[in-house]
Amino acid sequence: MHVVELSSVAQFSDEKFQKIGLFESPRMFSDIYCFEPGQSQALHSHEDNDKIYYVVEGKGSFTVGTESQELSTGWAVLCPPGEDHGVLNDSDARLVVLVFMAPHPHPPA
């Protein structure tokens, strides 16, 4: 069984937010994104993939399409295929986000 404790794998950098891989299969992947205050993930989209952001710790501004909303610990948001989405940690504390995407955009061999 593959298990992971998120707090033990979280990593932060002053330079840019960190992506830490958790689980991966040919059908999906899951990461955590770790943001220091002021860091962001630029708006982008995935034409054929659904993505879910789940706030594990902290709070930040999440944009999907033309809407932005502050989400805090325990909240999740769906990013449908083709919709621009991104994250901004506009708080004074660290932000940790669990990310799930399917289907996997670049499946492992």
Q: What domains does the chain contain, in order, with CATH numbers?
A: 17-102 (2.60.120.10)
Percent of residues, the chain, with pLDDT higher than 70: 100
- Coil, strand or helix: which one is 106? coil
What would the two tokens of residue 15 be? 């330079």
Quote the CA–CA distance of 55 and 77 in Å, as a whole number. 9
Amino acid residing at 14 = D
Kindly report whether the global pTM for this prediction surpasses the value 0.85: yes
The pLDDT mean for the chain works out to 96
Quote the CA–CA distance of 33 and 14 in Å, as a whole number. 14
Please tell me the predicted confidence (pLDDT) of residue 106.
83
What would the two tokens of residue 65 be? 């399409």
Tens-place pLDDT, residues 26-74: 999 999 999 999 999 999 999 999 999 999 999 999 999 999 999 999 9
Sorting pLDDT into bands at 50, 70 and 90, what band is 20?
very high
Tens-place pLDDT, residues 64-90: 999 999 999 999 999 999 999 999 999
CB 39 within 8 A of CB 70: no
* Gyration radius of the chain's alpha carbons: 13
Please tell me the predicted confidence (pLDDT) of residue 29.
95
